[in-house]
Chain A
């Protein structure tokens, strides 16, 4: 077979180019460490994600390291928004409850297919705070175009993973005491030192607490209804930026009230 000289030159140049491309991509993988989505995660059962995958959530797993467990389903992402601090390294674990979706953070190279039964993982570093849109770019049904979510990278000093919950009675009989059970959950690894502030009527009570990493601290505030007097009393519990509030009603006779109105808001 006779090959024209120009054609030989062209072929060799083409081969060099091809080898060059492969080298570039290999450098991207090995040198820059751009890992591909792969099969490193165990499979999950889409109908039993609660067990296999757990709640959609963000976890603090190491200094400046977080894991986001995201569930895509027609036509939402959970959690929404996903919140992480700036200057952090976040590993996303994403799976689907139903059909194939994608998890694509617009303006970044975080982009993966989300296939039911499989978990996609990828790690990204966020140096600065900012807000990103998350979209699904794989057709997943009639309302595919409405499927979007948010990723909030908040300034480091504004970030926490505190959760506040309060359990209390709605009504109390005049003369009795009632208690407010306050639980402060700290999702971070480090201890959380903070103050719980309880206000009812004109009274303000404060309590310093320390919640160790990844645990919950409970504290109780006891209120004497005689001091409050009959009627409605608004209360609030505050921890840092979190607030819970409600109304306590002090009544003459609890039994009677219930028989008459029966309007317990439970």
Chain B
């Protein structure tokens, strides 16, 4: 950096005029929450939720992980990076078309060596006891008919010391702020409404299935009942989504 008047922007040396510009830029870019929301939406809040779950999975190179209800494999793709070439990722779904789409996507991304693809019903996992360091299900448990059975199966195939992660829509606590509510109802709702009315029935099903899903404490109890220990959960985005975690000790 050239010799000139500098000041600090955090810990970083920047020319004084530049600092004013940067500070301005920071606030210009967040001044309107509408913009911020736009940004977050486009970054994909669901990706942020998944990232968070991935960090809680505690995976390391060499680990074996089973991802249930993988869909097109957002979680599995990250896992394949984390377990390294010596690790093993089983990407699975009950739906063959979903799985095939996921397989193509992985191949496009150059991820092949350490991923297997299997049709698996979470209620009947075709693996021996103690096979995996981690078993995950992202936005899938909601769709499983016998959730208790699935949780037992997830526990069974875990190695001692391994963990189960459940990422799922949940039940937010607290009431929304009035301002947020207004913005929601006047700005967001009509837009979403316009987009989703194309398929209102499935939207309604989805909203209902989320509301029907057990709340945080109930799911935690169900995990304990399935044999998992040290169960806990993290609310994300105020509890819209929660990540539950339980260990086999």
Q: Do A and B come from one complex?
A: no
